[in-house]
Amino acid sequence: MAQGKSGRIVIDVEPEFKQELYRALALKDSTLKDWFIANAQRLCEETTQPPLAFVAEEAPAYPATKK
């Protein structure tokens, strides 16, 4: 698919799917542009940022006592 330098993104979908998509977006009070930008940003963030590594520290079973 050609990639131009304008800010436009054009895709062809089946008319029935287009209607279904617009109905679903209307139910969520969203637009295709808003939905696309939110999902595209999430995809870009997922593919450019390394995942956070959480290291769970073990808590002692009993409180430490002073000797």
Burial of 35 (0-12, 13-18, 19+ CB in 10 A): middle
Q: Average of pLDDT values for 1-21?
A: 91
Question: What's this model's pTM, rounded to 2 decimal places?
Answer: 0.62
The helix (run of H) or strand (run of E) holding residue 18 is helix 15-27
Q: Average of pLDDT values for 3-7?
A: 86
**With bands split at pLDDT 50, 70 and 90, how would you rate the model's confidence at 46?**
confident
